Amino acid sequence: MELMKPKPPEIMTELRQNIVRMPDVIRKASGIVIFGKRIRSIIFSTDIAIIKNTNADAVIAVYPFTPHPAIMQSISMVADIPVFSGVGGGLTSGRRSANISLFAESLGSIGVVVNAPTSLETIRVMNDIIDIPIILTVVTAHQDLKPRLAAGIDIVNVSGGPQTPALVAQIRQQYPKLPIIATGGKTDADIENVIAAGANAVTYTPPTNSALFKTKMAQYREAARKHNN
């Protein structure tokens, strides 16, 4: 008879109950162990209020602008979980990406994330300078991973939209031991699909600040209505 694992005790205070929780299904993933820390759930956000109030194992802080040290610093100061910092690789490349990567490492980032178009030369320069994992964002099956892995990529972050599970499965077949992070989609079924395809860790996009506030305001209005009745 298989024994059920006891649920671990959880301690929360009255003021910290309302956090952004990761879907429980992500716990089915094997995780990726980086510097002794197992990471399964990764929240995709640069909102420092959300980053401070989540039970995710880590945060992936990438954004559609030129990477800036001030942004990295603010996130690193607030986060009490490991941070994967975006360092460009497209318009921002070469020595600048390498310098930003070194700055990210100095702030305590557990890894750096480069964009899909990142050149082999940029990856090599970064790999020579930093001592934390380099994560390549993979968006299509047409990306040639072999030379990028040889240049210094340690982990891939698959973000292929609806094709993500198929893309993960393809990469897993080619590279059985390669650590894979993948976007999980909006439902538990989507998350289970990418885990079944071979993802070791899953990124989750939380509700926006405005959506969370909408729920909170509805609660306040309901409380006020009951108080006045």
- Predicted local distance difference test score (pLDDT) of residue 27: 94
What confidence tier does 46 reach under pLDDT thresholds 50, 70, 90?
A: very high
pLDDT tens sequence across 116-126: 889 999 999 99
Which position has the higher pLDDT, 118 or 208?
118
Q: Identify the sign of the CA torsion 118, 122, 123, 129.
A: negative
Q: What pLDDT band is residue 215 in, cutting at 50, 70 and 90? A: confident
58 in Cβ contact with 220 (< 8 Å): no
pLDDT at position 181? 98
pTM: 0.89
Arithmetic mean of pLDDT, 172-189 = 95
Is pLDDT above 80 for 173? yes
pLDDT over 70 at 209, yes or no:
yes
Tokens representing residue 216 in the block: 């909170």
Percent of the chain with pLDDT over 70: 92
pLDDT digits (tens, 9 = 90+) for 83-97: 999 998 876 667 888
| Closest among 82, 93, 84 to 115, alpha carbons compared | 93
pLDDT band at 36 (very low <50, low <70, confident <90, very high): very high
What's the pLDDT at 41?
98
Q: For 208-220, what is the mean pLDDT?
A: 73
- The arithmetic mean of pLDDT across residues 18-35, rounded, is 94
Pick the more confident residue, 39 or 12: 39
Q: Give the mean model confidence (pLDDT) for residues 220-224.
A: 68
For 136, residues 6+ apart whose C-beta sits below 8 A from its C-beta are 113, 114, 116, 118, 123, 145, 148, 153, 155, 156, 157
Q: What angle do CA 50, 51, 54 make, to 5 degrees?
A: 80
Alpha helices, DSSP H, located in 79-199: 94-106, 120-129, 145-151, 164-174, 188-197
> Which structural domains are found in the chain, ordered by start?
19-228 (3.20.20.60)
